Every structure is written in structure tokens, then in C-alpha cells.
Chains A and B, each alone.
Chain A
Amino acid sequence: MDTQDLIFGINGPVVTVRNSRSFSMMEMVFVGNERLVGEVIGVSDKLTTIQVYEETTGLHPGEPVYGTGSPMNVTLGPGILNNIFDGIERPLKEIAKQSGPFISRGSRVPSLDEDRQWDVTLCIKPGDRVKGGDIYAECPETPIIRHKCMVPPTLSGTISKVSPDGKYRVNDTIAVLTDGEGQEHSLTLCQKWPIRSPRPIAGRLQPTIPLITGQRVIDTLFPISKGGTAAIPGGFGTGKTMTQHQLAKWCDADIIIYVGCGERGNEMSQVLDEFSELIDPKSGRPMTDRTVLIANTSNMPVAAREASIYTGITLGEYYRDMGYHVALMADSTSRWAEALREISGRLEEMPAEEGFPAYLPSRLSEFYERAGIVDNLNGTVGSVTIIGAVSPQGSDFSEPVTQNTKRFTRCFWALDKNLAYARHYPAINWMQSYSEYFSDLNPWYVKHEGEEFIKYRKEINKILQQENKLMEIVKLIGSDVLPDDQKLTIEIARVIRVGFLQQNAFHAEDTYVPLDKQKRMMEVILHLYHKSKHLISAGVPISGIIKSGLFDKLTKMKYDIPNNKLEMFDDYKKDIDQTLSAIVSA
């Protein structure tokens, strides 16, 4: 379907066409002689409104607009992993090859490498009845991820023709499916899917498996489940991006999708550099083998920034359908909300709070609802976890994006400016943050780490709460007047804060900490707490215990005990016992 309509008006990324009846809502179009990619966002009998995903400088009224007849979609197939795309799934490496270091307009590059040969194994035979989601072929996409080609969710029928195993390109037909009406559909290695529609599933599951991140404050205090949603709000300089990078590097998802939405170009090149150098401990392969990057930096066209979030989640759902656990990092959703605001402003829509359009909450909820751990159509189980950074304007958490995000995410990891100023990273504030997944995840923790883990976590939490109250007093009258048992709470809370919650992303041992070590660390800290408490109630002054250096020793155990030598914790406990009994006898 190729219709000829002409540009009438141009205002930034918004282009209008007059008196056209050929476009449908959300249809993908090509604008102008350079065929810039655009999407229809408003239709009336007089005026069709199009948002253009590329720079509109130099466009003339009267240039043609071509319809495509289909909504904005992405190509799904092998070659997505280990790649970097812009917001509408154009491979940036190919664009760089074509047009050099600066992105020029109207680049016409297929999303997936069309010449690359894949080693395909077919898993169907003629006569098989298949339905949407069924896997008909597999190929090793990267050495660690097997790509599974699935029947598009809208199709079902009988396989009438199958090619032998062998090497194929993404657009080669490898099987033919005949549907109920007798129509033939050829199945290739790839399929297309509209980015704004969630891919169908068979059913949702209870989120009972945690996403292990190796970050102590998250795994212990504010855990997230596989298929969960989390928001990381924080003003600039509080370490949103660093936290996202850490999670992307270390969380135990199979596939990582990192969406750099309206963020810095240098950050994306850092991700590229670091991920290709970082060797995955489980597989011994670079991180990039299971990563997709979507980079729409802040100076790239704003409409594509709006789309990049949807492109990311659609790729995520596709891998989920294969039965993988996917973690999607969106950095930052505020930029996406601002892109909505910008386009809404150009359309002269009635603004709601702070100039954001009134449909902001519904767009946010639609996006976060696409996360989840699910039963797929083909019977596998997969999940998409969404971790969205939020950049509140003026570091004010009461602004619309943070508040609305809070309503639709179940983990809230609030980053705190004062912690960041003191270079306490990750600067997750333990008083403001929360996780609603505790009750769902507790059985898993009990099964894998034992009842103690839950007990320790509660106790650590309690000490931190107590400290918070005590600090109010200390701020007014100083810590000297406190009784010794309260001084102990403050001291031990310091050990928890500095020795446990704070984690050094640049330290080889400390950057990722397995759950077992997290548990043992809590155990030793609480051991010291209980023993000291006992001593203090027996009248031993706290100054003596502090002087022994035990507290300082525990704040450094995160560095001193390697992740694979957990037996050293027993020595620490022994040392605590000996030192304390020496104090008593002296």
C-alpha cells in the first residue's frame, strides 16, 4: 500500500498532512524525499499528524509522505544479541559503517544482518500441527544463547513444507505453514511485531523467584523478583546509572536489555567498552553475548526516544517467549516522559501536572505491566524484569513521573543525595526505599538460605530503624550523653552502613557478593552485636569494646574475606569471642 500524500506543515519533529484519508492511527510512515521514519499520532478528516523519528531540518511542505499500512514494528530474529540499536531498532554499527561517526538522516539499514548465515536446526516435520508461539527452529545466536524461532502468535495451522537443517539467512524461508483457511505462510528466521502491543502469553505466574543481583542492599533489604518491577529515582549525581550498570553486569538474568533513553553518549560508549571486556563468570564469555543495547542519546531525535522504551520491552518479551529470564534496564524513564511532554506540547494538547500530558500515568502503567513472570504460549516459563531509573526534576520525589512510577512499581530504591555526597554507594536510602516482594520471596530465601536469613534481615532492619531515631537525638545533643547500649546501636549501625550496605563497585571482590557471603556477613555483625550487648548489660563500658578495633575490623571484612573463602567468617567469630572475653577478664 503506497499512498501519495503531501506534507503541509512542519513544527520541529511534528509534521502534518492535509485532507488525507489513507493513514491509520499509529501507522508507520516515511516522510519526505529522504524517507525519514515517522509514525501517525493523530488523524482527523482535515489533518493527519505525524511524529518524525529523525531531524526535520530542510524538509519542504509538498514533499511526499508514504504510508506502510502497518504499525510501528520491530524485526525479531537472530542477530539481536550483541548488537546496539537506536530507538527504532536501526543497528548503530551498520549506520556508522555507512555514514561515519555522525548519524545522518534517512539511513536505510535493515535491523538484522541479512547476509549472515545461521546454523539452523529445525524441530518440526511436515504434518505437525503448530500454534502461535511454538518453536519450529533453533540456532546458536551467540555461544551461550540458543535462539528459538517461534510461530508468530497470530498464526496456527499445519506445517506443509520443511527445509533440512543447515545454514540459512534471516529472510530465508525454512518452513511453510498452512492455516485453517488453506492459506500458506512462509516461516523465516525472523518475524515482525508492533512495538506498542504486548506479545501474548498463556498466563501470569506468582513472582516467587528473586533476581539475585549480588548487591547487598538490594538482595538483603529490598529484593526484587524475576518478573518484577523496580524504580530507581535519584537526582543527578546520586548514581542511578552506576546502579543500573551494576545490576546489568551482575544480576542472574539470562538476557540483559539496556535502554539508554535520552542519556549521555559517553555513558553508552562506556557500557559498550565495559560489557565487552567483562567476562561472565558463569559462561566464561563476554557479557555482550547476552546483551542488547538500545541507545537513543539525549541529542538524538526526541520521537525515537519515546519509541526506544517500547522497542526495548518488545525485544525483551520476544526472548521471554523463548523461555529466558530477561532483565530490562531503562535509563531513564523520565527522559521518556519528557519526550511525551515535548511531543504533546507540539500537538498543543491540554497539559496536566507540570506540563506533562494527562495520559502520562496510563502510558507508564502500560509499560510496567509488560513486566512479569509468565507461562508462555509454547509452555516454557520466562520473565521480563523492568528496572527503570527515574530522574526527578530538582531531585524532588513529589514530581509527577516519580509519583506515578511509584504507583506501578513494587520496588522503590530511592537514591539519596546525602549518601552520594559522602560517597556511600549504592546510595540507596534504607529509610525511604521499600520492596513489596518480601512475602512472595520469603519461601525461596528460606529454602535456599535458611530461616536465619530472614531473621538476620529483620534484625538488621530493626537496628537501622533504631539508629535513625537515635540520630535525631544525637543531632540535637551529641552522642556523648547516650547510654552505652544506645551507643552500641549507633556503633553497630555504622558497621552495617559502612561494612555491609555500602558496596564498592570498583573492588574486585566487593563488586559482586554471593548470597552466602551476604548471610555470613550479617551473621558476624549480629554476633558482635549480641555479644557486646551482653557485655554492656553486665557493666562493661562500650569504650573498651570500641578500642579493641572489632568494629573497624568488621567494616573492612567485605574486602578482607574473598568471596570463595567463606570459612574465614568462623575465624572472625572466634576472634570476636576471644577479644571480648579478654576485655571481660581485664
Chain B
Amino acid sequence: MILDYIGVKDISGPLIVLDNIDNASFEEIVDIHLDDGTMRQGRIVQMDGKRVVIQVFEGTRGISLTNTRTRLLGHPMEMSLSPEILGRIFNGSGQPIDGLGDIFPVKTANVNGTPINPVSRLYPKNYINTGISTIDVLMTLIRGQKLPIFSGSGMKHNELAVQIARQAKISDEENGNFAIVFAAMGVKSDVADYFRRSFDESGILQRVVMFLNLANDPIIERILTPRCALTVAEYLAFELGMHVLVIMTDMTSYAEALREFSSSKGEIPGRKGYPGYLYSDLASLYERAGMIRGKPGSVTQIPILTMPNDDVTHPVPDLTGYITEGQIVLDRSLDSSGVYPPVSVLPSLSRLMKDGIGKGYTREDHSALSNQLFAAYARVMDARSLASVIGEEELSPEDKQYIQFGKLFESKFISQGAHENRTIDQSLDLGWELLSVLPRGTLDRVDDATLDKYYEPAKKRAKAASADAKKSFSMAGIPADQKTDSPQESGADNA
């Protein structure tokens, strides 16, 4: 027997309250039919006896105390799944919006998912070659990892995400087994369109599932968007055995939607007005990345979030950083000086990297090299802050070498073209080449054998190259040392 409940008792923001409801269950989905013939969906979020609180996905605009009929559907929010889902576009609550009709479900799954048993998890070790030097060498992305991009408004996080998606695909030997799930939460329609176009241009649109909750779509739907997306990702990965890359943008909008929803429910706010359960809520999304023992697929997540006022201590990046396995932080001053990708190396990190690099994975010198680059670049920062007080001229010779290294590092290593795909060997060799600017004695993170094998040849190469450069440049009448000082020029060299 299906019962319709007529009217509501109370309306507050996106929430409606109904009384005298029998047989409802927690988090059950309801259909709300309005008198004008339209239909909205909602979810039960709180129950006290026969009184239930329902959040309406599409918002409560136009709902009055009398003009609705509410029907309980008897199950929690579910997503229809089938292999045909690839290439489709959905709205934030999982309804197809590409005009190609409904999904014929092979199965349905609760969008909230269930936690992966820690003993069934397979510890991720396979690295993904993204072709981007900073990421490959310094914060290696691992299959099954969740590695967010901490960005700010106006920086090139979208370009970076697209480049990762495009190049990670190419280097994959199991090419056909690759899928991208893209969840847009509160982003502008041109951003969503940029992603769609980019996927189209690289010819992978048929392997992409898109969930679009744009900036003007209802916020309640936004809370469901990542859940629907991850449900699809889990299905593709763990039932169809695909390697799925999930790009979620923008997590800050998601958290703000959650805050709005929480305050309209009258909950006690925690830090900056965000609900006290923000950590658990974000974790319930991020922790859905991973690999499972005995199953071929994987879910890798790249959530993108814009830090309000570039503040990394804001609750959203802060809590995200505590859950995810590292972070890629973008830097505004690098961005404005034209360095792409503007990865701020020092605060960026990949936690899973240590077990996925080195002999048998990338190259034996990888770990030592990346430690040394981090240490050297940290020293550059010290030298720069000193130089800003006493002037570069007054620095000790060693500090001057570090300043020189810093310039090269930013212009040659961090900076690379949006379509430039460097192999891991190229990136590693480049790293040694840059270190060869520094005297051997200061490289304290590398043991002697590795130095002999990589540092010395790089030094020789650099010497030979600079001799060549001197020759050709002096012929053209340009002094040799101007060449390396300009980031644009050397960036172009690499492209």
C-alpha cells in the first residue's frame, strides 16, 4: 500500500517537517508532488516519533503548507548502475540530464556506500606517471590514493587536473580499462564546460561520467553529488575492474553547502560555522578511494578545493589535509610570475609515495633525489629571506649558489608546458642536472654511491652543455649567463 501524505507542517530553508508519518525509516527518500504537477525529491534527515524532517533536494521554493503530496519510497538514496553509464552526464542527484534517457539499471546501490574493511584494503603501491615533473618526482601519485589540489580562486587548478587526467591515461598500459568520474559541485558552467571540452579534445569523453551541480543548482543536491559520483566510481572499479580517477571540484563549495544545510537544521556549529561533523563527513567521501585485495580495479581521487583567502588553515583544507594522503598546494606568487603548474613544492606531499618509488617502481635514486631537492629548496627559501634583508650581493658564496639553484628549479623543473609529458627518467635526470649547480659537500641527504652514479655525470653533462652554450651564444653575441635567468625562455626550451 502506498500512502501519500498531504501538506507539510513546517518549512525552514531547504527542510520541511511532516507529522503523523508511519513506517518511515532514517535517510529514506521521498517524492514530493506539487500541485502544479512538478515533482521533487527529498531525504529524511531526522525523526522524532511520527514527526520527520525532510531535506528537499531541489529547494523549498513554491512549497506551501497545503500544496504537496509526499510519498515515501521505502529505500535510501540509490544510484542506478550499469556499464552503459560511461559517457553519460547527470545532475547532482544522479538524474541523467544529457537527454539520452534513463539508465537501465543492472543494479542499484546506496549512495552513502559502506566503509571498506581495513583488512580488505590493498596497500596502494603502483605509481601513476603523470608526466609532470613536480608531481612525479616530489609528490608521486599512487593508484588508489586521494591527493587533493589545494588552490585558490584564479589559479590554474583546473588545467592541472585536466593535464593529470590526460597524461595519466596515456602512460597506463591497461589503457582501455581507464575511466574518469567527474563531479562538479557549485562550479560555474564554463568551468564544467572546460572540463567537458578538454576530455573531448583528448578523445576520452566516452570514458567519462560527469555529475554537474553548477553554481546555481540547489545546495542540497550538492551534498549528494560526490556521493553519487563515488558510488559510480566504486561500481566501475570494484565490479567492472576499471582504474577510475575521480575529480571532484570544488570541495569548498560542498562544505559550504553542508554548512548551510546544517544551520537550517539548527545544529550547533563548530569552527567557522561548519558543523562539528565536517571531518567525519569529508572522510566518508575521501575514504572511498583505495584498492581492495583480490579485485583488479582502483579508485584514485583528486579533489580540488579553493582555499578561501589562500588560507591553508581554513577548516576545509585543514580537515582535508588530515584525511587525504598528501596534498598538492598551488602558490599564488608562482602563478602570477607565469610558472605553470604553480606547485608550491615545500608544503606539498604524497604520503604513499615512499613505498611506490625506488628500485622496481621508478628508479633507485628517486627517494634520495626527492629528499635532496626538498632540502635544497627549503634552503633556497632561507637564502631568499636573508637576501630580502641584506641584499643578494651580501650573501655568502654558498647562499648565492642556492639562489641560483632556486631560479633554475622554478624555471626548469616546476615550470612545464600544459601539453608537455615528461617521462620519469627525464624528470629525474633534470633533478640531478639542477643539483649539479650545488657543491657536492652540501648534498647531505644522498649517500656517496648514489652521488657517484648520478651527481657526477650530471655535473659533467652540465659542464659540457654550458661550454656548448657559451660557444653558440658568444657567437650570437649574447652573454651566456642570461639564458638561465629567464623562466619564459627556458620554459619554452622544454616545451
Which of A16, A298, A394, A552 meets B287, CB within 8 Å? A298
B63 within 8 A of A: no
When the two chains form the complex, which single residue of B145, B385, B394, B445 contacts A475, counting CB atoms closer than 8 Å?
B385
Interface residue from B76, B119, B354 paired with A506 (Cβ < 8 Å) = B354
Say if the beta carbon of B493 comes within 8 Å of chain A. no
Residues of B within 8 A of A298 (CB): 279-280, 283-284, 286-287, 323
How many angstroms between the C-alpha atoms of A421 and B392 in the bound complex?
24
Main SS of chain A's interface residues? mixed
Question: Is B46 a contact of A10 with CB atoms below 8 Å?
Answer: yes
Alpha-carbon distance between A154 and B113 when the two chains are bound, in angstroms:
44
Task: Return the contact of A302 from the options B28, B280, B287, B347 (Cβ within 8 A).
Answer: B280
Asked whether B386 lies within 8 Å of A237 as measured between CB atoms, the reply is no
Our pick among A299, A341, A342, A555 for the contact of B284 (Cβ within 8 Å) is A299
CB-based contact A393/B444 at 8 Å: no
The reply on A18 being an interface residue by CB < 8 A is: yes
Q: Does B212 contact A (CB under 8 A)?
A: no
Taking a contact as CB atoms under 8 Å apart, the answer to whether B110 and A338 are in contact is no
Alpha-carbon separation in the docked complex, A335 to B287 (Å): 15
Check if A244 is an interface residue, CB within 8 A of chain B: no
* Least Cβ–Cβ distance between B112 and chain A, in angstroms: 6
Contacts of A476 in B (CB 8 A): 389-390
Cβ A556 vs Cβ B444 within 8 A: yes
Which residues of chain A are within 8 angstroms of B276 by Cβ–Cβ distance? 338, 341-342, 344-345, 355
Q: Are A103 and B25 in contact (CB under 8 A)?
A: no
Contact A61 B280 (CB under 8 A): no
A262 lies within 8 A of B283 (CB): yes
Q: Is the C-beta of A480 less than 8 angstroms from some C-beta in chain B?
A: yes
Asked if residues B123 and A478 are in contact (CB atoms below 8 Å), the reply is no
Determine whether the beta carbon of A295 is less than 8 Å from that of B47: no
Cβ-closest chain B residue relative to A12 = B277
> B410-438 interface mask toward A, CB cutoff 8 Å, 1 = contact, 0 = none?
00000000000000000000000000000
Within 8 A of B (CB), among A480-525: 480, 498-499, 506
Q: With contacts A103-B117, A298-B279, A335-B279 known, is A58 near B25, CB below 8 A?
A: yes
Report whether B313 and A396 are in contact in the complex, using a CB–CB cutoff of 8 Å.
yes
A273 with B123: CB separation less than 8 A? yes
User: A354 to B318, alpha carbons, bound, how many Å?
Assistant: 15
Pick the residue among A58, A96, A479, A556 that contacts B27 (CB under 8 A).
Answer: A58
Task: Check if B49 is an interface residue, CB within 8 A of chain A.
Answer: yes
| CB pair B447 A237 closer than 8 Å | no
In the bound complex, residues from chain A placing their C-beta under 8 Å from that of B107 are: none
Q: Which of A58, A93, A338, A479 contacts B396 (CB under 8 A)?
A: A479
Q: Is the CB of B118 within 8 A of A61?
A: no
B336-354 with Cβ < 8 A to chain A = 346-347, 349, 351-352, 354
| Inter-chain contact total with CB atoms closer than 8 Å | 224
Report if B129 contacts A (CB, 8 A): no
Q: Does B5 contact A (CB under 8 A)?
A: no
Judge whether A541 is part of the interface by a CB distance below 8 angstroms: no
Do B115 and A297 touch (CB < 8 A)?
yes
Question: Across the interface, do B119 and A92 meet the contact criterion of CB distance under 8 Å?
Answer: yes
Provide the B18-31 mask, 1 if CB < 8 A to any CB of A, else 0. 00000111111000
Residues of A within 8 A of B47 (CB): 9-11, 61
Distance between Cα atoms of A493 and B315 in the complex (Å) = 37
- Give the shortest distance, in Å, between A215 (CB) and chain B (any CB): 17
A264: Cβ under 8 A from any B Cβ: yes
The answer to whether B112 touches A345 (Cβ under 8 A) is no
Asked if A96 and B120 make an inter-chain contact with CB atoms under 8 angstroms apart, the answer reads: yes
Minimum CB–CB distance from B50 to chain A (whole Å) comes to 7
Q: Tell me whether B193 is interfacial, beta carbon within 8 Å.
A: no
Query: In this assembly, does A411 line the interface, its C-beta being within 8 Å of a C-beta of chain B?
Result: no
Across the interface, which residues of B come within 8 angstroms of A396, CB to CB? 313
Docked complex Cα distance between A299 and B324 (Å): 12
Interface residue? B489 (CB, 8 A): no
* CB contact under 8 A between A269 and B283, given known A9-B47, A59-B25, A394-B318: no
A20 interface hit (Cβ, 8 Å): no
Give the distance to chain B from A201, nearest Cβ to Cβ, in Å.
32
| Residues of B close to A58: CB separation below 8 A | 25-28, 76
**Would you call B119 and A269 a contact (CB within 8 A)?**
yes
How near does chain B come to A463, taking the closest CB pair, in angstroms? Answer: 18
The 8 A CB mask of A389-401 against B (1 = contact, 0 = none) is: 0010111100000
Indicate the member of A423, A499, A552 with the most B CB atoms within 10 Å.
A423
B121 within 8 A of A: yes
Quick one: which of B23, B27, B271, B352 contacts A393, CB cutoff 8 A? B271
B325 partner residues in chain A, CB cutoff 8 A: 264, 266
Chain A to chain B: the 10 pairs with minimum beta-carbon distance, closest first: A394-B313, A298-B283, A422-B378, A101-B120, A299-B287, A236-B321, A355-B270, A9-B48, A269-B121, A268-B118
15 extra A-B contacts, CB within 8 A, seeds A265-B116, A266-B352: A10-B26, A11-B46, A56-B27, A58-B76, A92-B118, A262-B280, A265-B115, A269-B122, A270-B123, A297-B115, A298-B279, A345-B276, A417-B347, A479-B396, A552-B444
What are 27 inter-chain pairs, A to B, with CB distance below 8 A?
A8-B49, A9-B47, A11-B47, A59-B26, A60-B26, A93-B119, A101-B238, A235-B321, A237-B347, A237-B351, A265-B287, A266-B145, A268-B121, A273-B123, A297-B283, A298-B284, A298-B323, A299-B287, A335-B279, A338-B276, A338-B279, A342-B280, A344-B276, A354-B270, A422-B375, A474-B386, A475-B385
